[in-house]
Structure 1
């Protein structure tokens, strides 16, 4: 068993209001990434289970009052929020154990921000105008009154990744349920337990009608793919890799499903020549270490003035070396393990590639060595890669580990060119001693979110999403809520 004590019930599916194991009794292990040890099991949902969950969500949308009873939705979502607050300590401990997320992140994306986001979208639901009166007009000479109605999309398949599961689970199911949709949540097989906990809390602590919210956790990609092809599903909301996003978009095309995609990133932190280069480099290195670099919006390309390149590399390396790796359950841990042996080996392969491409390591560069119980975990040393340009694979491909590539630029125009020379456009930052200069550069970066001189965009009311191959649509904010609505224009005689 893990060195952590967990008080969370065993993971179960939620289908049509009932908590249950897989219909054939199959399960798979849940591992603590810090130790590699089994801490629980998850039901391996069958094709029949997924079919039943979709059917339950369809019936609940078509036959219950969920889509039209705003007061019921508000009450149920507030009940879920209260249950999460009540069980916060246990939920956070589970997240550290299952996800390997350092405890300090629980006050941000790990728990507190997404739970606050659930309250935010419920407050929005209470005040949102679902109808807009366009007034009277005479189209084609016919006196007419027009109103625009916003209605729920229908059945939503929410497919979430393993890196910040509670943030992404709630950023999907909160707005979808608030809009009046019904949901089938499929968490990632590496982190099914936190998703299962949402199902348990809904079943035990809320008045949500059966079938409105369902949780399945198949390990098989073929079984999970049913959510993207079944004609009873109206919308797929997916967060994950760009490659899988393409597959989901193609799968949904046959039935023209509405598709929300929040995908990969290779975001650039631009430091201009009048900035505190060492300070900005250290801050970027710190961010690249958080949760072992497992964040799609993390700035993993540090673009610095050529004449200050060595200074920036040294500052980034000093920061990463001081952080190191540590048990995510320990006080002060910043860089914990990566999620799995597969991910550890994938990151290690990129580190080998860095040397093949001509790069050097200012710090790190290999699998981290641990003693005792942690020796079985999945650890990568925080790494700064120097000597590569923006054409290298290390600078172009999403690594999803604690790896920062430092690239030289020759002025503002060149920095903008480098930042935009990417298939992705999810996030970024600009630092300058002149705020207006920084904002002028930021305006030229093709990315969905960008921080200027240390500003923070991450909050429940701020839309999040990307340009280019970083995705389609926005999550969080009013825009994220409206992803789950359809627009109907109604005309009647004036």
Structure 2
């Protein structure tokens, strides 16, 4: 059976080292959100397919040398990186076509950067200290040597969202493989080709053994729940919304799996009165439109001092007016479509709710003229938003910026922390020191100060509160994929302290007397 997909866009799944169709033979369509056109199909996996993948992964981890051969793991990760770089110019337009990602972002955080990071994981496979010594300890007359071993977690289920599939997917594949674990990838049905392309390249251009990576695709988002419930899966690494993360944790709790959950955000961009309000408001407005606002760290709340409030709103509006919206494969367009019709209706619903709440619509809020085909929406700016309003509290995941005034820095801090989320934030002030003192008080996992960046491979990325559990990247992120084993053994020395046997003998003598 064949399908007319673009050459690199594999429609089959990778199970036990082979590219295979669904056991039912079914496929589902992949829709371009910029054109509403079918760009190809993907295998619609069944429960039986997921179970086959779990069995294959379990066998690969339990019965092969993958978990212990560090040099081989590093070699395989580098092979995958090389294959992805070799096919980058084929993959780039497919990423734009299935997600709606602007082509310029594929040369940045949405493809090139996550592929480049694979070399970091290859280095970890070779150089991480998986074995460490503790100081000797004297316990009841026996001096013991102690060692800590960091061992691979086992079978990992990597569940990937649609908005940044390559970043999210490779941030799970890389550390899982480097640790000696094996992984089952379950891509989103709204962006399935990240997983299937990885499966194709693994099968055809790497030495990664059968079962070390399995890829199962399915039209039903909940088909993958077998991964979170099956006791043979040791860990779930999930990126997605907080409600879906809660569901993953609930199902996985029955078998007490390790959970790594990178969830949503409602991040604040706080402009202190000493900052350049015009510059910061314009930058905030432009940033929310990157990838059409479909990013977990999007700073969707702009906090402005009331004394310079209208000045900031005018700057934000002017910046949004200049945003070019259209075909995401045209490098002259800054913003493409939302990912699906369903998601666009969801975002439009939030806009209508904001109007009903009395928020002032400054610009946008509808489908752009001339872009009725596809899933486009205008960059949208709301002013006079109250801290507890819906668009200030719920993750919209669209190009919608809510501007909130404040009268004092104390009030600004209270507003910034008034959220169930705590993923990221941005603070601007006249000096780094002033912004830093404010940033220390924000309850989020990351904070950018005066347009500085925190994102790099050494950063443990994650959030407070309902923005997730655990960390990605950095040493801490890699160690999420490791179990800790402590071993103690006698050194052959005695300290002279009364030992267990001597205590028992002494007690007996005392009782006999």
Same fold (TM over 0.5): yes
User: Does residue 1:474 correspond to 2:468, yes or no?
Assistant: no
- Aligned pairs for 1:119-130 (under 5 A) are 119-130=119-130
Give the corresponding residue for 1:297.
Answer: 297
| Contact 2:235-2:258 at 8 Å conserved across structures | yes
| Contact 1:37-1:376 at 8 Å conserved across structures | no
Q: Residue 22 of structure 2: SS of its match in structure 1?
A: coil
| Contact 2:9-2:196 at 8 Å conserved across structures | no
Give the corresponding residue for 2:26.
Answer: 26
C-alpha spacing 1:424/1:80, structure 2 compared with 1 (3 Å): same
Deviations 1:405-462 (A, max 9, x none): 0001122211111000000000010000021110000000010111000111222222
Give the corresponding residue for 1:384.
Answer: 381
C-alpha spacing 1:324/1:359, structure 2 compared with 1 (3 Å): farther
Cα distance, 1:221 vs. partner?
3.7
Distance 1:302 1:243 in 2: 24
User: Does residue 1:86 correspond to 2:86, yes or no?
Assistant: yes
Decide which moves more: 51-60 or 473-482.
473-482
Distance 2:457 2:103 in 1: 20
Distance 2:39 2:120 in 1: 33
Distance 1:121 1:350 in 2: 40
Distance 1:318 1:70 in 2: 54
- Aligned pairs for 1:212-231 (under 5 A) are 212-231=212-231
Instruction: Using structure 1 for the length normalisation, give the TM-score.
Output: 0.97
Give the corresponding residue for 1:362.
Answer: 362
| Contact 2:29-2:42 at 8 Å conserved across structures | yes
| Contact 2:427-2:450 at 8 Å conserved across structures | yes
Cα distance, 1:391 vs. partner?
0.6
Distance 1:303 1:124 in 2: 40
| Contact 2:182-2:212 at 8 Å conserved across structures | yes
Distance 1:108 1:427 in 2: 20
Q: Residue 322 of structure 2: SS of its match in structure 1?
A: helix
Q: Residue 273 of structure 2: SS of its match in structure 1?
A: coil
Distance 2:256 2:56 in 1: 21
1:431 aligned to which of 424, 428, 431: 428
| Contact 2:297-2:424 at 8 Å conserved across structures | yes
Give the corresponding residue for 1:157.
Answer: 157
| Contact 1:186-1:217 at 8 Å conserved across structures | yes
Give the corresponding residue for 1:51.
Answer: 51
1:400 aligned to which of 393, 397, 422: 397
Distance 1:466 1:364 in 2: 30
Q: Residue 331 of structure 1: SS of its match in structure 2?
A: coil
Distance 1:160 1:386 in 2: 34
Q: Residue 217 of structure 2: SS of its match in structure 1?
A: coil
Distance 1:53 1:6 in 2: 26
| Contact 2:324-2:332 at 8 Å conserved across structures | no
Distance 1:281 1:343 in 2: 26
Give the corresponding residue for 2:175.
Answer: 175
Q: Residue 474 of structure 1: SS of its match in structure 2?
A: coil
Deviations 1:46-93 (A, max 9, x none): 110000001100000000111111011001001001101111111111
Q: Residue 422 of structure 1: SS of its match in structure 2?
A: coil
Distance 2:65 2:263 in 1: 34
Give the corresponding residue for 2:111.
Answer: 111
User: Does residue 1:450 correspond to 2:447, yes or no?
Assistant: yes
Distance 1:40 1:409 in 2: 49
Cα distance, 1:6 vs. partner?
4.3
Give the corresponding residue for 1:252.
Answer: 252
| Contact 1:31-1:38 at 8 Å conserved across structures | yes
Give the corresponding residue for 1:492.
Answer: 489
Distance 1:126 1:429 in 2: 36
Distance 1:9 1:338 in 2: 21
Distance 1:113 1:179 in 2: 21
| Contact 1:314-1:362 at 8 Å conserved across structures | no
Cα distance, 1:21 vs. partner?
1.0
Cα distance, 1:273 vs. partner?
0.2
Decide which moves more: 298-307 or 139-148.
139-148
C-alpha spacing 1:311/1:28, structure 2 compared with 1 (3 Å): same
Give the corresponding residue for 1:188.
Answer: 188
Q: How many pairs align?
A: 487
- Computed over aligned residues only, the root mean square deviation of the Cα atoms, in angstroms, reads 1.1
1:415 aligned to which of 395, 412, 416: 412
| Contact 1:14-1:199 at 8 Å conserved across structures | yes
Give the corresponding residue for 1:60.
Answer: 60
Cα distance, 1:369 vs. partner?
2.9
Contiguous gaps of at least 5 residues in structure 2: 492-513
Q: Residue 405 of structure 2: SS of its match in structure 1?
A: strand
Decide which moves more: 133-142 or 167-176.
133-142
Give the corresponding residue for 1:316.
Answer: 316
Distance 2:14 2:370 in 1: 38
